[in-house]
Amino acid sequence: MNNIVLAASDETNLASAIKIVKAYDEAGDIFSKLGQFNTHTYSGTNAEREELYKLIEGRKIPFWQSETGPSGGSGLQSNLLLTQKLFDDMKIMQPQAWLDWQMMEEHNNEWCQLRGNFTTHDYEVIKNYYVRKQITSFFKQGYTMLDADQPQVLAAISPDKKELVVAVVNTDTVPKQYTTCIEGIFPRDYPRAYRTSAQEDCKLIYPDIQDRGSEWVYTAPEQSLTTFVIPL
């Protein structure tokens, strides 16, 4: 039973999590009893993400984003907004794990990846499954997150430094152009790319990339998520 630890406090939003961390510090004897600190991110600002990161950093305790879900929009847009939240959480809070609310649900296409009828036991894969696949199939355990100065871009490199993964999310209803500086990174081949949009489900594509030497320019279609896998 020695491997059982306490995880707390699973507050529903970042403001409450920050308040709890400060209360634990004031009490003086709480963190020493915890094996892990958890928070949800149903709501919160990037300033609060940064504050919570600074409060938890250096405590030598696992830190999880243990539950979240859609916070606006509907359908695909809702899923993409949740992806933007994932990007913000991972880049600013830097938790060791990031968890969705649940895998399966009835009668909606936002709070799940599999929609089902629990009476008839009929189930179907929905768009959010492919949105999640854009991340979980390519950003793998052990990869190192890289700094990306655009909020809509998430990047990571494999442990052997032979693969770079870059994801670009566009939550807008119009196409958006993104410029990625790859100075000091030497692609071995043209990247594979996968995209989820209203018409695509994590589909292998051959994107139109403008190569400007140390910069690549990519125009993301409206309401889309694109993942580039770049061999180095």
* pTM (2 d.p.): 0.93
Q: Which domains does the chain have, with CATH numbers?
A: 7-136 (3.20.20.80), 144-231 (2.60.40.1180)
Whether the pLDDT of residue 189 is over 80: the answer is no
Give the per-residue pLDDT at 177: 94
Residues 99, 74: Cα–Cα separation, whole Å: 20
Measured at the CA of 154, the angle between CA 85 and CA 51, to 5 degrees, comes to 50
Q: What are 16-25's pLDDT values in tens digits?
A: 999 999 999 9
Confidence of residue 95 (pLDDT cuts 50, 70, 90): very high
Give the per-residue pLDDT at 92: 97
Q: What is the CA radius of gyration of the chain?
A: 19
Give the per-residue pLDDT at 188: 60
Confidence of residue 185 (pLDDT cuts 50, 70, 90): low
Whether the pLDDT of residue 186 is over 60: the answer is no
User: Is residue 17 a contact partner of residue 11, using CB atoms and an 8 Å limit?
Assistant: yes
What integer best gives the mean pLDDT of the chain? 92
Confidence of residue 126 (pLDDT cuts 50, 70, 90): very high
Q: Which contacts of 107-116 are long-range, i.e. CB under 8 A and separated by 24 or more positions?
A: 109/75, 110/69, 110/70, 110/74, 110/75, 110/78, 110/79, 111/69, 111/70
Residues 76, 194: Cα–Cα separation, whole Å: 16
Q: What is the mean pLDDT of residues 25-36?
A: 94
Question: Which one is predicted more confidently, 226 or 186?
Answer: 226
Give the per-residue pLDDT at 179: 87
Question: Which one is predicted more confidently, 223 or 73?
Answer: 223
Q: What are 207-218's pLDDT values in tens digits?
A: 888 776 677 889
Residues 133, 138: Cα–Cα separation, whole Å: 8
